Amino acid sequence: MRQSPRERRLAADHQSLSQLQAESSIFSFHARGALPERYEIRFRGLGLWRLPDGDVVVRDEHELRIELGAAYPRMMPSLGWQTPIFHPNISTSGVVCLGGYCTHWVPSLKL
């Protein structure tokens, strides 16, 4: 049975992330199914986190959720930061600002 363009894209994305995981000592992910639509990404790297009392501490492990909605890849993926981080493009609730990608998303952009 032929795969739809969306199914081919989901398979290609999964293959790319699997290759990145195999080649990396800091990146890993968890996904379910043959054509995952949701990824839980984990990576290691220094980042800052602001505690409720205002103190800033270093965090070295981060988690990110990626959801590929029904309109993906025509519409951009949904990203949500799961671990607290102090970053100008990530809100305190974990919403990631993709800047120009929000208005200039094209299906040829890869995960």
Name the band, by pLDDT with cuts 50, 70 and 90, for residue 34. confident
Q: Is the peptide bond before 73 cis (omega within 30 degrees of 0)?
A: yes
Phi-psi region of 48 (alpha: psi -120 to 50; beta: other; left: phi over 0): beta
pLDDT at residue 103 in the model: 67
Name the band, by pLDDT with cuts 50, 70 and 90, for residue 11. very high
- pLDDT by residue (tens digit) across 45-76? 999 988 889 898 999 999 999 999 999 999 88
Q: Is 68 exposed, middle or buried (0-12, 13-18, 19+ CB in 10 A)?
A: buried
Highest mean pLDDT among 39-43, 55-59, 91-95: 39-43
